[in-house]
């Protein structure tokens, strides 16, 4: 019986989970999203502080909800990248401490592999999920930091065949949400408001349709939205904005910008039209990928999968290709969580991949790629 404790502190969620084989026995998450909301993005220092405050608590709770003691664990799986350096460090240090005490292997998990493996988590109602997902498979990862197409011939064999040249789709949702005056993260706000809007109102372009490369691009769409806001909105006085970007993520800065007043209907129409173009590009590029690489299953993972229009669009696309479509059935598995890290760690344990003999040697890799 393989019990794995998973830990993830890559961004703004502090999470620990326990799985028994593929079955998730617990998946505890403490989010610091509210602390970042008014800054328009995740502030690394706030995230670190919150991880330090919560890490012991989530680990204890994950073990007690699973009904096991740490002595029963076979290994500890921890996210070592990609993510915010000072945030990753908190989880890695806790994982090392536990692995040392129990004399068990420490497994370094790629957070994006975790998003794929969120589909393999065994929950009530999908007990045979492991046997149902057939290889080869194509996984579309759509989160706040990534937009990637990953081809897998077998377990833990990742081949990145598509990626974004600039912003990720989640980032586009967040930035457009910010332009429309909604708090971070913008995705849920856009989906909610889009449901009352007319998606045909503005004809936002779908980028990269002329290219055979499996590349995504969201910066043009973001600019197109800005142009519409400037043309239909009423210019307001200069206002202050507190969003700034650094290589480590968002940092609080104060800058002056012109803002535009929009009616509720205008905002909803922009949100709906943006959402249609954003998802349209995901579908267009995934269709190209499926034409090029015949697979048996299509998987999606990452926060943007929370969007119901995404589920509808990809259910339809999988039908078109007569292949199976999988997405994590529980919301908790869509946002950042340690359950997916534990389940991925379980496969890595089974196949003996990336298990550190020397516990001290595992280090964070903020820009880790699949
Ligand atoms: O996977 P995730 O929780 O964190 C990262 O690893 O980045 O993804 C967060 C992203 C954010 O950009 C957020 O705006 C987006 O997922 N998101 C959504 C929705 N819910 C969350 N995007 C579109 N529609 C949603 N309903
Ligand atoms: Zn994530």
Asked whether 309 lines ligand 1 (CB < 6 A), one says no
The first and second tokens of residue 112, run together, are 């994006």
Is residue 144 in contact with ligand 1, taking CB distance under 6 Å?
Answer: yes
User: Which pLDDT score, from 0 to 100, does residue 125 have?
Assistant: 72
Q: What is the pLDDT of residues 74-122, one digit of tens each?
A: 999 999 999 999 999 999 999 999 999 999 999 999 999 999 999 999 9
Pocket of ligand 1 contains residue 174 by CB under 6 Å = yes
Residue 219 alpha carbon to ligand 1 centre in Å: 17
Dihedral of alpha carbons 20, 23, 25, 30, sign: positive
Token pair 């015949």 in the structure block, residue = 294
Ligand number, closest to the Cα atom of 112? 2
Residue the block writes with tokens 């889009």 = 194
**pLDDT given at position 294:** 97
Instruction: Please tell me the distance from the alpha carbon of residue 189 to that of residue 268, in angstroms, as a whole number.
Output: 10
Cβ(6)–Cβ(338) under 8 Å? yes
Question: What CA–CA distances, in Å, run from 229 to 20, 171, 172, 225, 232?
Answer: 51, 18, 15, 6, 5
How much is the pLDDT for 241? 55
For residues 179 and 186, what is the distance between their CA atoms, to the nearest angstrom?
9
Give nearest CA residue, ligand 1 atom 16.
303
CA of 186 to the centre of ligand 1 (A): 8
Q: What is the pLDDT of residue 123?
A: 86
Q: Is 306 in the pocket of ligand 1 (CB under 6 A)?
A: yes
- Residue 28 confidence (pLDDT): 98
Residue 254: per-residue pLDDT: 46
pLDDT digits (tens, 9 = 90+) for 181-239: 998 899 999 999 999 999 999 999 999 999 999 999 999 999 999 999 999 999 886 55
Instruction: Kindly identify the ligand whose nearest atom is closest to the C-alpha of 182.
Output: 1
The response to whether residue 14 sits with its C-beta less than 6 Å from ligand 1 reads no
d(CA 75, CA 194): 44
User: Ligand 1: which residue has its CA nearest to atom 10?
Assistant: 144
* Residues of the chain under the 50 pLDDT cut: 245-248, 252-255
How much is the pLDDT for 246? 46
């Amino acid at each position: 019986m393989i019990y794995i404790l998973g830990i993830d502190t890559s961004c703004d969620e502090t999470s620990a989970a326990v799985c028994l084989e593929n079955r998730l026995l617990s998946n505890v998450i403490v989010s610091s999203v509210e602390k970042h909301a008014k800054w328009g993005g995740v502030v690394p220092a706030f995230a670190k502080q919150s991880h330090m405050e919560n890490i012991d608590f989530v680990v204890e709770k994950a073990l007690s909800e699973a009904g096991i003691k740490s002595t029963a664990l076979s290994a500890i799986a921890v996210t070592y990248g990609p993510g915010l350096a000072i945030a990753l460090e908190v989880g890695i240090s806790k994982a090392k401490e536990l692995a040392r005490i129990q004399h068990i292997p420490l497994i370094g998990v790629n957070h994006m592999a975790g998003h794929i493996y969120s589909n393999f988590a065994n929950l009530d109602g999908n007990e045979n999920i492991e046997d149902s997902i057939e290889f080869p498979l194509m996984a579309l990862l759509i989160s706040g930091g990534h937009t990637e197409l990953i081809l897998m011939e077998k377990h833990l064999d990742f081949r990145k065949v598509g990626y974004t040249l600039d912003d990720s789709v989640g980032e586009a949702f967040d930035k457009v949400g910010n332009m429309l005056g909604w708090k971070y993260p913008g995705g849920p706000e856009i989906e909610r408001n889009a449901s009352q809007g007319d998606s045909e109102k503005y004809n936002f372009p779908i980028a990269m349709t002329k290219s055979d490369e499996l590349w995504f691009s969201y910066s043009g769409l973001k600019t197109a939205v800005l142009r519409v806001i400037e043309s239909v909105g009423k210019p307001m006085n200069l206002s202050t904005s507190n969003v700034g970007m650094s290589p480590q993520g968002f940092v609080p800065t104060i800058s002056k910008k012109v803002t535009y007043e929009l009616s509720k209907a205008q905002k909803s129409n922009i949100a709906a039209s943006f959402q249609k173009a954003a998802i349209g590009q995901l579908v267009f590029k995934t269709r190209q990928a499926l034409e090029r690489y015949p697979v048996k299953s299509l998987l999606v993972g990452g926060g943007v999968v929370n969007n119901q229009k995404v589920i509808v669009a990809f259910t339809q696309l999988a039908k078109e290709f007569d292949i199976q479509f999988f997405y994590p059935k529980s919301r908790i598995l869509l946002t950042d969580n340690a359950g997916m890290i534990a389940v991925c760690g379980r496969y890595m344990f089974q196949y003996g991949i990336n298990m550190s003999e020397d516990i001290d040697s595992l280090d964070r890799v903020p820009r880790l790629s699949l």
